[in-house]
């Protein structure tokens, strides 16, 4: 059985016979397909040391040369995207088309990073004082790390390392131990593109590896995407050890539907937004808020009808609309949420527990579930389920919808579907979340904007990619200069720009 190891100094590290290992499943068939090494403290030290040694030369490399490496890297990913999508689908369980879409969104950040010479330009002001000029530029931090989740094993790492590297940092990626294969392919293609030894390293593992990076004195910054409970841990421990931290946590994304919305178009948008990738997306719509009485029943009835026709299938089934969940343990967690909703009095209109065909019984499959008459006090409303479960909340007007969204502890993304431009504009201005879609169900920003929520969905001061990503991976330096003629004598008064 293949065992994934670490990638350090542009080389796969031999797997030690006594190393701790974890199982990597094929979710479509419910079997262990591979294993992955869990890093020891010595492995953490090895990865950090490699990145530390590589940093001086890499940080002195002109941004244009760094960008050229990423142009070549993008070409390699495009050339091999089918094999990358196959690895993602096999280890995560998402459909091949969904895996390919993930690669596309990741490559958008690579394309943005290729603009490094422009992104890193500073500012200059002539004659801020008599004979005095001032200028500023952004410099890299040093060794930085990224800790990424299972649900996007290629895209989320590509949110991080392209910008970190073109800004002049060296990078250590700690991918999810559930689907680590994609990270090693990306590492190999970076090396093939010409990235020097030690600039990009992959450290496999679990909490031991995470905490090792968070406390290491030579790691300057850490990026994280995952659950809120872990995001809080990453921020606390990282900041306590002097790190700059951006930690993206959980979400409970609402889609608000006004009475004038196109029912069919909204239902179609909801199907993909709520049940795509089996709901294992931080931007998945997990709450639909139906405003008014005229729209609610047609929306619920239409959703119910289409969910009964939703096709489950293995990740390599081209006709599949939804694949399995990532592990049996995660499926069990989602099942517990469904039971909780029933116990609290919500109406289960579509029961995904009864929707798995017998030929898929060996995999970690769960059909789509739909709850109606959900209240804000219920657990299925309050907590992130991260599975194929959509809950319906009915409210009387848009003000009630806004209060509902703004009161939730998570504030990642939200959407509104309507034909009323004025109502949409007012909603976008008043809603207290980080990302808003207007007739766009999953408002993930393009790479030249930045991704991030508010409240308990983001810890730290910087969102990812876009201009915020450049700021996170660099620090500002400002120089004030004068080239005076020698006049002699010291001046002990407060300096001013006369």
Q: What is the pLDDT of residues 440-479, one digit of tens each?
A: 999 999 888 888 888 998 998 888 899 999 999 999 999 9
pLDDT at 486: 67
**Proportion of the chain above pLDDT 70, given as a percent:** 98
DSSP label of 352: G
pLDDT at 388: 97
pLDDT at 488: 63
pLDDT at 36: 96
State how far the Cα of 250 lies from the Cα of 411, in Å rounded to an integer: 9
Nearest in space to 414 (alpha carbons), one of 382, 440, 384: 440
Which residues, 6+ apart, have CB-to-CB distance to 283 below 8 Å? 251, 253, 412, 413, 435, 442, 443, 444
| 485 or 383: which leads in pLDDT | 383
Tens-digit pLDDT profile for residues 179-199? 999 999 999 999 999 999 999
State how far the Cα of 54 lies from the Cα of 3, in Å rounded to an integer: 27
Q: Six-digit token pair at 22?
A: 């974890």
| Residue 75 Cα distances to 13, 61, 79, 93, 188, angstroms | 26, 21, 6, 26, 13
- What domains lie within the chain, and their CATH numbers? 3-249+457-479 (3.40.605.10), 253-438 (3.40.309.10)
Decide if 412 contacts 443 (C-beta within 8 A): no
Res. 264: pLDDT tops 70: yes
Confidence of residue 15 (pLDDT cuts 50, 70, 90): confident
Decide if 53 contacts 198 (C-beta within 8 A): yes
Res. 38: pLDDT tops 60: yes
State how far the Cα of 183 lies from the Cα of 171, in Å rounded to an integer: 13
Q: What is the pTM of this model?
A: 0.93
Question: In the predicted model, what is the mean pLDDT of the chain?
Answer: 94
N-terminal to C-terminal alpha carbon distance within the chain:
74
pLDDT at 17: 65
State how far the Cα of 274 lies from the Cα of 293, in Å rounded to an integer: 22
- The mean pLDDT value for 23-27 works out to 96
The stretches of 194-281 forming alpha helices (DSSP H) are 207-215, 228-240, 263-275
pLDDT at 10: 96
Pick the catalytic residue: 114, 167, 199, 282?
A: 282
Task: Tell me, yes or no, if 199 is annotated catalytic.
Answer: no
Tens-digit pLDDT profile for residues 85-127? 999 999 999 999 999 999 999 999 999 999 999 999 999 999 9
State how far the Cα of 34 lies from the Cα of 3, in Å rounded to an integer: 6
- CA angle (81 as vertex; 80, 84 as ends), nearest 5: 95
Tens-digit pLDDT profile for residues 202-258? 999 999 999 999 999 999 999 999 999 999 999 999 999 999 999 999 999 999 999
Res. 498: pLDDT tops 60: no
């Amino acid at each position: 059985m293949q065992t994934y190891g670490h990638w350090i100094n542009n080389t796969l590290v031999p797997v030690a016979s006594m190393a701790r290992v974890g199982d990597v499943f094929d979710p479509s068939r419910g079997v262990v397909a591979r294993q992955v090494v869990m890093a020891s403290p010595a492995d953490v030290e090895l990865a950090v040391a490699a990145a530390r040694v590589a940093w001086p030369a890499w940080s002195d490399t002109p941004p244009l040369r760094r960008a050229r490496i990423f142009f070549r890297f993008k070409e390699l990913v495009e050339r091999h995207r089918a094999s990358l999508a196959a690895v993602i689908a096999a280890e995560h369980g998402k459909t091949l088309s969904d895996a390919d879409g993930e690669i596309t969104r990741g490559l958008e950040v690579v394309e943005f990073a290729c603009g490094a010479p422009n992104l890193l330009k500073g500012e200059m002001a002539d004659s801020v004082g008599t004979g005095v000029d001032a200028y500023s530029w952004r410099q890299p931090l040093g060794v930085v790390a990224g800790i990424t989740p299972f649900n996007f094993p290629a895209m989320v790492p590509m949110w991080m390392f392209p910008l970190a590297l073109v800004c002049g940092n060296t990078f250590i990626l700690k991918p999810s131990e559930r689907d680590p294969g994609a990270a090693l392919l990306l590492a190999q293609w970076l090396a093939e593109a010409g990235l020097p030894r030690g600039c990009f390293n992959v450290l496999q593992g679990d909490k031991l590896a995470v905490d090792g990076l968070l406390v290491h004195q030579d790691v300057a910054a850490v990026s994280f995407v995952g659950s809120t409970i872990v995001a809080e841990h990453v921020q606390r421990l990282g900041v306590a050890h002097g790190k700059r931290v951006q930690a993206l946590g959980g979400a409970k994304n609402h889609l608000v539907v006004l009475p004038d919305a196109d029912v069919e178009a909204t239902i179609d948008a909801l199907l993909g937004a709520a049940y795509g990738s089996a709901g294992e997306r931080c931007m998945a719509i997990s709450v639909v808020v139906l405003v008014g009485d005229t729209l609610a029943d047609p929306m619920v009835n239409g959703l119910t009808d289409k969910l009964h026709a939703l096709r489950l299938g293995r990740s390599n089934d081209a006709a599949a609309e939804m694949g399995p969940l990532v592990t049996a343990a995660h499926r069990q967690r989602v099942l517990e949420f469904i039971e909780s909703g029933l116990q609290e009095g919500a109406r289960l209109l579509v029961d995904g527990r009864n929707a798995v065909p017998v030929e898929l019984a060996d995999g970690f499959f769960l059909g789509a579930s739909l709850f109606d008459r959900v209240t804000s006090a219920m657990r299925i409303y309050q907590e992130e389920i991260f599975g194929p479960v959509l809950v319906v909340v009915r409210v009387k007007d848009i003000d009630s919808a806004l209060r509902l969204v703004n009161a939730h502890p998570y504030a990642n993304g939200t959407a509104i579907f309507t034909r009323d431009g004025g109502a949409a504009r007012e909603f976008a201005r008043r809603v207290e979340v980080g990302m808003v879609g207007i007739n766009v169900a999953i408002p993930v920003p393009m790479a030249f904007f930045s991704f991030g929520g508010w409240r308990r969905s983001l810890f730290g001061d910087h969102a990812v990619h876009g201009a915020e990503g450049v700021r996170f991976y660099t620090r500002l330096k400002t120089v004030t200069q004068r080239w005076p003629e020698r006049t002699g004598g010291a001046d002990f008064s407060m300096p001013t720009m006369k």
